[in-house]
Structure 1
Amino acid sequence: MDVGPGERRDRLPARRHQGHGRRGRLHGDPHQTTPRQADNSLLVGVGDLIGASPLESALFHDEPTVDLMNQLDMKASSVGNHEFDKGYKELERIQNGGCSPVDGCRFDHPYRGARFRYLGANVTFKSSGENALPPYWIQRVNGVPVGFIGEPLQDTPSVTSPSGTAGLRFGDEVTTANRYADLLSRKGVKTIVLLLHQGDDDKVPNGPNTCDVAGGGPGTAIATRVSPKIDVVFSAHTHQQYVCWVKDPTGHRRPFVQGRSYGRELSVVDLRIDPRTHDVLRGRTQAFNRIVTRDVPKDPKAEALISRAVDLAAPTADKPVGRISQDIDTTPVGESPIGDVVADAQLAATTSQGAQIALVDPGDLRASLTYRPPTGTVTYGDAYAVQPFDNTLMTMSLTGAQLKAVLEQAFPNRGNRPLLLIPSANMRYTWSQSAPAGSKITSITVNGQPVQPTATYRVTVNDFLARGGDGFTVFPQGTNVTSDGKDLAAFTACLGAHEPLAPPPLNRIAQTA
């Protein structure tokens, strides 16, 4: 941020990528300031820097990704839900350094931790109510203090394994942000940025700098309600792209932006600050998403880091596990060829537990399988990219009425993009968008026979769903629950058993009027 009288503008770009502290908390003084970065440009993040990452990073507990963020001189980032995939203790290690308690130091010797500060203003310990992470970070630019408040979405426990958020409470985003905006203001910080791991969905496919978001989304609701002391809201989580100008509670405009996912775009906000009052001149603020291209020379240090991770991972990543006859694609919602394959694989892996059907959450499927000529070989790394969460398969007994009820949970508060669970090949169901809530599932069959409300069915899902993840709260009502291996092992076994594997027809879910 440029605080001088000149015409230069300085950037606050934020991208989304993606030893232990005392008394069980992440150490670090939230009042600490760090030296001014060259060109008055600060790189900050909005969470999900780690977790569900490529095998070349995941094999080494995401230390390569953190090393890259350190190279880029990232200053701070909110935590996202994926920062909690492996639990709070592992997040402590990622922040503060030290070897993994699982398999020691495999990448860095020793791993020194993140030089940027992870923030979670609304994350507290259930036992004491104390902050589990620093709530904010202050960075000085040309002598002007700039405050960053970081928050994950309040619903983090519903989109993360229960073990990952055990002992933690996630508070209301607006109430928390307002409290710390007031605190920063009392400390003399007048330029305040909210790093919010929550966002909105697009209504239609759009360009990187449009604002065609679904009305009433959670991101907009927060961005319009947080304190007028907050000048910028960077958002994340929904993997969308938009540059919106929303009105704060006093009617003044401020940018609310998101830059897609996987490092494809960089959200940039150029601020002009009054050098006397240290207030942001909002009328001179600019915001845009910059598409990341590959037409610049590779950075030697980054290239060396990536090459080392790729080389160390190669013996595992390059191992062939099967063949496909053509691309097997995925989609973010609804039935997909890869979803059908995974559901069939999970059923096959759990028939010894009496499984009759399997259901898959499309949100757990993170990549497609791309045909690689001439033989269509699929490697372990390819399979891992599809299912990177290391989930355990669980088989439970549900009544037909419970099975219908859990399918109905695809719809509440999800608008026109219901999170339809993908069934194995022996199950079919139909749904209606126009039907009232609770009656949208219009038919279900298993092995060609209508599901009976009082009959019992053995259903396989992963442990995330089994514990009620993504709002599917009927699954924890299941009885006679057994576990049988990992989802990725089931997937690779399916690939090896059907060579070459062809994409199945999409005929398991149908929409009626």
Structure 2
Amino acid sequence: MHQRTTSVLAAAALAAVTAVGVAGVATATPNGNVPVRLLALNDFHGNLDVPTGSSGRMVDENGVTVEAGGAAYVAAWMKQLENENTLKVAEGDLIGASPLVSAAFHDEPTLQFMNDLGITASAVGNHEFDEGYAELSRLITGGSHPVDGSPAGPWQGTDFTYLGANVLLDGATALPTLPGFEVLQQVPQGQLKKLVAEYGVPALPPIAVRQVNGVRIGFIGAVTETTPTIVTASGIQGLSFTSVVKSAEFGSQLLDLLGVDAQVLLVHEGDNVLSGKSPDSCSTTANPDGSAGAGTLIAQQVDPQIDLILAGHSHQAYVCQVTDPAGHPRLYSQGGSFGRVISQADFTVDRKSGEIVRSSVTVDNHVVTHDIAPDPATAAFVDTWKQRVSAVSDKAIGSITADLTRVAAPTGETTLGDVIADGQLWATKAGGGAQVALMNPGGVRADLSYAPDGVVTYGEAFAVQPFSNLMQVIPLTGAQLDALLEQQWTAARTAVLQPSASLHYTYTPANAFGDKVSGITIDGVPVDPAATYKVAANNFLVGGGDGFSVFLQPDRSLIWSGPIDLDAFAAYLTASSPVAPPALNRIALG
């Protein structure tokens, strides 16, 4: 813990810090406090168009599942929620694992949308590093892509500041020159050098300070400490990722030295939740071993000077109260993913002390429903990028010898599902050590038709797998794999996971639920219940989607994350063409 300090440079810092917000002076509350509103997004993942399937649905405050998301609706909701006291922020993964309309242009369209929204600061997420630190720096500062140039015109960079207090430059001795570091020039340089020597040289600005209605709000940004295990080695080359709690203290000390007492943590780390709950409920769940989730631990442990934690990463929506190290209550929340939720945080700042009045802090998660008119300018913007991407969509990526369809055999196996699973195993074997791959049938959204010439385009592959889920590899014991396969058949539904060619087993329909699977082999060898096997699946399944709760049993820190599922499928088609429909014999009838 560090003690509060008063900086003689506070007035100079106030003049030097960029004032970002909405013009106008709000009326103070009766006790002289100044109202402030934050509107926050997290894990947008380039979803400019309305997300499809489960990615475009959200449970609302009444427990009803509704259609949600899409940039035009996000913009409309933002305009409806903002007032003269508003600052807009984000909690990372704005880009990466994005749909084609954004990914085809290295996510420049999404960052332009964030500029247009008026986002002022965002924590960096793990996916911001998918193409490496150099590419992230280019996206921040502007300029042409080193390979693709500027196919859609010159890129001017972000108007907001990406924050990463716990992202360090290995071997660096001087601060980078990225936009946002200017604020540190106002910190007494001797004390700054001492702090940097203690914590390390940040690769991204650790803090941002914004002014609204005559008061200053300090933002600290950090990303999940697990980033090195879920991003490719090339994406994090030259970087280290340190403790979020420690780096938040670093950021808080910097804000202290600037005389900024109102402090908010934007952190790309969160928890899992109980399904079907209101986005405004505290529905977070413990880890399988009973320990608190990573996001909750951060919210409980970061410096007590930090008054509010806005989180991301786990794609869930919740509003929780924790107790800080000083024994005081503190709110911690997250707003789903894919632009389906906007988190509204309201509080007042004591004008005299500059402190957030902790008792005034509230958070309301608004589902971005489609029952209001979409913003017309944003809708036109998205349509422009959809038209531009058509050239990419029409690119040939492989070929097939006959139709690959979702028509199921009596076992539930399909030719297209099997090919997708084979591609997933192919794409995760080297990096993740996968031995088996399983694909959820609901994620296969269209057939691949041979007509007219057997050529498969990128657009056709995208129609098959439009969700931009991540491929992940998770360790399961043989007993857990058996239990997982049994979950395909319940009294409520049948959902047959499409298996890679390495997996074979027998399904006996007449047997009781929980006893329908037998004879499991991997690469022809019977599965040992006590042995551990590495299973590849998309992050929807690994997160327990479609009722496959066995995926939630292993330690989450052991999960390896790889490419987007569509990229895995497309690369497999390119490498393996022409692809023939496989025999539907991986699941035998008993």
Verify same fold: TM over 0.5.
Answer: yes
Query: 2:191 matched to 1:120?
Result: no
Q: Any idea what SS the aligned residue of 2:366 has?
A: strand
Aligned partner of 1:489 in structure 2 is 571
Query: 2:203 matched to 1:132?
Result: yes
Aligned partner of 1:212 in structure 2 is 283
Aligned partner of 2:558 in structure 1 is 471
Residues 346 and 460 in structure 1, CA contact (< 8 A), matched pair in contact too: no
Residues 383 and 488 in structure 1, CA contact (< 8 A), matched pair in contact too: no
Aligned partner of 1:10 in structure 2 is 36
Q: TM-score, normalised by structure 2?
A: 0.62
Q: Any idea what SS the aligned residue of 1:112 has?
A: coil
CA 1:407–1:180 in 2, change beyond 3 Å: closer, same or farther? same
CA 1:426–1:138 in 2, change beyond 3 Å: closer, same or farther? same
Which sections of structure 2, spanning at least 5 residues, go unmatched? 1-20, 46-81, 173-199, 287-291, 481-496, 507-517, 538-555
Residues 367 and 386 in structure 1, CA contact (< 8 A), matched pair in contact too: no
Query: 2:420 matched to 1:342?
Result: yes
CA 1:38–1:96 in 2, change beyond 3 Å: closer, same or farther? farther
Query: 2:228 matched to 1:183?
Result: no
CA 1:253–1:345 in 2, change beyond 3 Å: closer, same or farther? same
Query: 2:216 matched to 1:145?
Result: yes
Query: Which whole-Å deviations, capped at 9, do the CAs of 1:318-349 have from their partners, x for residues lacking one?
Result: 66978665599xxxxxx999875422235689
Q: Any idea what SS the aligned residue of 2:466 has?
A: helix
How do 1:184-263 and structure 2 match up within 5 A? 184-215=255-286, 216-263=292-339
Query: Which whole-Å deviations, capped at 9, do the CAs of 1:106-157 have from their partners, x for residues lacking one?
Result: 12x2100111000000111111242110001000011211001000011101
How do 1:98-497 and structure 2 match up within 5 A? 98-107=143-152, 109-128=153-172, 129-215=200-286, 216-317=292-393, 325-326=405-406, 341-345=419-423, 358-360=435-437, 368-371=443-446, 379-383=460-464, 385=466, 407-408=476-477, 424-428=500-504, 445-450=521-526, 471=558, 487-491=569-573, 497=579
Q: 1:385 offset after TM fit, Å?
A: 3.1
Q: 1:300 offset after TM fit, Å?
A: 3.1
Counterpart of 1:121 in structure 2: which amino acid?
A
Distance in 2 separating the partners of 1:149 and 1:327: 51
Aligned partner of 1:414 in structure 2 is none
Counterpart of 2:420 in structure 1: which amino acid?
V
Q: Any idea what SS the aligned residue of 1:262 has?
A: coil
Residues 96 and 128 in structure 2, CA contact (< 8 A), matched pair in contact too: yes
Aligned partner of 2:97 in structure 1 is 52
Counterpart of 2:393 in structure 1: which amino acid?
A
Q: Any idea what SS the aligned residue of 1:295 has?
A: coil
Q: 1:185 offset after TM fit, Å?
A: 2.3
Query: Which whole-Å deviations, capped at 9, do the CAs of 1:428-452 have from their partners, x for residues lacking one?
Result: 589xxxxxxxxxxx99623543269
Distance in 1 separating the partners of 2:233 and 2:120: 29
Distance in 1 separating the partners of 2:477 and 2:136: 35
CA 1:44–1:348 in 2, change beyond 3 Å: closer, same or farther? closer
Q: Any idea what SS the aligned residue of 2:145 has?
A: coil
CA 1:55–1:312 in 2, change beyond 3 Å: closer, same or farther? same
CA 1:367–1:88 in 2, change beyond 3 Å: closer, same or farther? farther
CA 1:228–1:410 in 2, change beyond 3 Å: closer, same or farther? farther
CA 1:327–1:207 in 2, change beyond 3 Å: closer, same or farther? farther
Distance in 1 separating the partners of 2:283 and 2:88: 26
Counterpart of 1:342 in structure 2: which amino acid?
I
CA 1:409–1:505 in 2, change beyond 3 Å: closer, same or farther? closer
Residues 357 and 426 in structure 1, CA contact (< 8 A), matched pair in contact too: no
Q: 1:262 offset after TM fit, Å?
A: 0.4
CA 1:443–1:409 in 2, change beyond 3 Å: closer, same or farther? closer
Residues 50 and 83 in structure 1, CA contact (< 8 A), matched pair in contact too: yes
Q: 1:239 offset after TM fit, Å?
A: 0.8
CA 1:347–1:372 in 2, change beyond 3 Å: closer, same or farther? closer
Aligned partner of 2:484 in structure 1 is none
Q: Any idea what SS the aligned residue of 2:151 has?
A: coil
CA 1:406–1:209 in 2, change beyond 3 Å: closer, same or farther? closer
CA 1:173–1:8 in 2, change beyond 3 Å: closer, same or farther? closer
Which sections of structure 1, spanning at least 5 residues, go unmatched? 19-36, 329-334, 392-402, 412-420, 431-441, 463-468, 476-484, 509-513
Query: 2:88 matched to 1:43?
Result: yes
Residues 269 and 286 in structure 1, CA contact (< 8 A), matched pair in contact too: yes
Aligned partner of 1:29 in structure 2 is none
Q: 1:381 offset after TM fit, Å?
A: 2.6
Q: Any idea what SS the aligned residue of 2:109 has?
A: helix
Q: 1:95 offset after TM fit, Å?
A: 0.3
User: Could you tell me which of 76, 79, 100 is aligned with 2:121?
Assistant: 76
User: Could you tell me which of 111, 118, 138 is aligned with 1:66?
Assistant: 111
Distance in 2 separating the partners of 1:100 and 1:191: 38
Query: Which structure has more RCO (C-alpha within 8 Å, separation ≥ 6)?
Result: 2
Counterpart of 1:253 in structure 2: which amino acid?
P
> Which range is displaced more, 151-160 or 288-297?
288-297
Distance in 2 separating the partners of 1:245 and 1:166: 37
Distance in 2 separating the partners of 1:68 and 1:80: 17
Percent identity, please.
37
